Each structure stands twice: as C-alpha cells, then as structure tokens.
Amino acid sequence: MSTGVGVREADARPQRARMLVAVTVLGFSSGLPLALSSGTLEAWCAVSGLSLKTIGLLKLVGLSYVFKFLWAPLLDRYRLPWLSRRRGWMLLTQVAIIGVLIAMAGTSPRESLTAIAALAAILVFFSATQDTAINAYTTDQLLPQDRGLGSALSVGGYRLAMLVSGGLALVFAARAGWHATYLMMAALMCVGVITSVFAPEREMASRPVTLLRAFVEPLREMAARPHAWTWLALVLTYKLGNAFALSLSTTFLLRGAHYGLAEVGWVNKVFGISATIVGAFAGGLLLERWSLRRALWVFGVLQGLGVLGFLAVALGWNDFSALITAVASENFTSGLGTGVFVALLMSMCDKRFTATQFALFSALDAVGRTALGPLAGWVAQVLGWPVYFSIALACAVPGLLLVAALRGEFDRLPGARSGV
C-alpha cells in the first residue's frame, strides 16, 4: 500500500518536469531578441552601407538592459487583467516583441535609419522587461532544490536563442533576405507566448501594497541583511575574470593569434556557445547534489582556470587544436559559472520583490562587465596579450575570497538551502 508521501512525490514529478520545460523555453524566448537589436542588426546596417560611426551610435539602443531595474517595481506591484502577475507581464512583452519585429521587417536601415533605430530601442525595452518578468517567474516557481538545474536549462535556452538569432539568422538572411529573417524571428517568439499561457504556477507571496513600497522595500530589505555589502560585492566580482577574458576574445583570436575569420566564426561562436550550454547543464546537475556555496567555490576556481587556454595561445601555441582547446575550456567553465551565478541571484531574492531585486543584481553584474571594456582595451594594447590574460586569471580571485568570507552566511539567504 503506497504512503501519502509516495503519492505526493508521484504527483510532483510531472509538475516538476512541466516547470523545467517551461523554464527552458522561456530562456529561449528571453534570449531571442538580444542579437536582433545588437549583432544581427549591426550586420544588417553594415551590409546596407551605413558608416562605422552610425553603427557605433546604434549600440546605445541597448541601454534598457542596464536600466531595467528602474521600472522592475511595476512588475512586482501590478497584476495585469490576464493570467497571473508574472505570466501576464511575460505575455504582454512577448506580443509586443512580435509586433516590433514585424515592424522592423517592414523597413530597413537604408530606407529609414530613424525608424530602425526607434524600433530597435523599443525592442530592447520590451526585451529587457520580458527578461525581468521571466527571471521573476523562474525565481518564484523553482523549488530550492531545482534552482541549479533550472538555471542551467534557462541559460541553455538563452544561449541557443542567441545562436539562432545571431549566427543562424545571418545565414538565413544571406539566402532569404533581412525582411524574411525578422519575420521568421517574430514567428519563433510564438513559442514564448504559448509557454506563458500554459506554464504551471504555484501560489506566490503577496505583492507590495503601494507603488512607493514596491520601489523602497526591496532596497530596505536588502540593506537590512547581514553582510549586505559583501553579498553585493560578490555579485559584482564573481564573473569578473571570465568577463575580462571574453571581452576581447574575438579580437585576440583574429589580430593577436591571427586565426582566419571563418575559423573564429565557427569555433568561437557556434562551438563556443555549444560548450557554454554543455557547461551550464553539467553545472546544473552537480548543483542538485552540492550546496550553493560549494558549487560557487568549485565552479569559480574552474572558471578562473578556464582562461589558461587563451594564455597558452598568447604565449605561442597557435595551431587549430589550440583554438579548439582555448574556446572549449573558457566557454565550458563560463557555462558552469553562469549557471551557479544565476542560482545565486535566485537565492538572494526575497519573493515579495523578485522582479526588482533580480533586476538590481543583474544590473550590478552588467555594470561590472561594461566597465571592463575600456580597461581591457588599454591593457591589451599597452601591456600585450599574455599580460592581459594573466590579469584575467587574477580577476577571478576576489570573487573566490568573498565566497570564502561568506561561508557561514549562505543558509540565511531568502531562497537558499543548506548542503554539504
């Protein structure tokens, strides 16, 4: 005769599977618009004959990804008339993204640069808002023991979407044209719409009673935690070494190591993204058995050591096997680190303010990565590539020291679980 516990576990398994599938597809939906407002749009502008100065200025349309925390409290406070609080915002932004992509397919940079720039800025705004809603939904819905695998699947879906809307979109555009490409991407966004409508959802914490509290209380709650500034420093520094190494990796492979454009395009983009997905999935499986602290430590060490392949290339090992080894090691360990980092952000969020706090934490990470750009270029030009990658290796140390300093504090996180 089966026990009540056994029945509950049997009932929970299909629900868990549905949730993990939903998280994966929503990760794909979240990642799809990114390249369409950045790399793919850049390529469209380049072949349309726009100047480098103009193409550079178009990069400013991506600012919404950095400042999305400014309107994230709206997603915590208000529930739209359809579906639930999180899924309602997801559906609204996805339908809006589809509309913007269709509008972009109806014009071109050559016909109206102003229209394309405005549409790209609107696309980024709705894409950043979709990210906020999906991150909040994923954090709210995943049980603590599923956060490792769930974050890995979400990262995998996101990276796959970047491959589709980045590299594969360029291949499709070369054959069918840019208008057909953007229409195809709009059609692919429908998978997110369907998932938002049918995704499972458990009962969630109550929302803030006023808009003012939705803005103020997430900050007040975070500031009141023990070692709040140490936690924020960890968010800022954990991916720093990896971000420093990858910020000029393509330029290094082309100009520093003198690999061909086709070699770099295939290995660094297609193979590299695949290695990241494998790394994120492997990390998620290990996170099901390990505590968050242990995974942050082990994956942080591996993430730091991942740069050694690029350092070896910079020191003179530059055949094709060196390219494969460098890209595979850096991207695989980056996948490990990204998966556990997303799990950390989930654990740090109070479910009353998930949208706002996750947006704040991810913006802090983005600020750190963005600030590295000018410094990375200076180091590479003045000090050379071996020193550049040695500094990237050293940049992994502060995050590890902070993990060690917070050793006894992980059980106090709002969403953390204890472990070995």
Q: What residue ranges define each of the domains in the chain, with the CATH number in brackets? A: 14-204 (1.20.1250.20), 211-420 (1.20.1250.20)
CA distances from 302 to 115, 243, 290, 296 (A): 45, 14, 16, 10
Q: Determine the pLDDT at residue 413.
A: 80
Look up residue 82 and give its amino acid: W
Within 10 angstroms of residue 117's Cβ, the number of other Cβ atoms is: 18
Q: Determine the pLDDT at residue 211.
A: 86
Q: Determine the pLDDT at residue 417.
A: 45
Crossing angle of helices 354-383 and 385-394, in 10° steps, is: 150
Q: Determine the pLDDT at residue 195.
A: 94
Query: DSSP letter at 273?
Result: H
3-state secondary structure of 328: helix
As averages over each run of 10 residues, the pLDDT of the chain (420 residues) reads 47 76 93 85 76 69 83 89 87 96 88 86 93 91 84 87 83 85 94 92 76 88 89 90 78 77 71 84 85 91 90 86 86 88 89 88 77 72 86 90 88 59
Within 10 angstroms of residue 277's Cβ, the number of other Cβ atoms is: 23
Q: pTM for the full model?
A: 0.81
Q: Determine the pLDDT at residue 276.
A: 85
Q: Which two tokens stand for residue 264?
A: 């770099």
CA distances from 233 to 191, 364, 396 (A): 37, 9, 13
Look up residue 274 and give its amino acid: S
Full DSSP string of 75-95: HHH---SSS-HHHHHHHHHHH
Note whether 358 and 136 are within 8 A (CB): yes
Sign of CA dihedral 164, 334, 145, 34: negative
Query: DSSP letter at 417?
Result: -
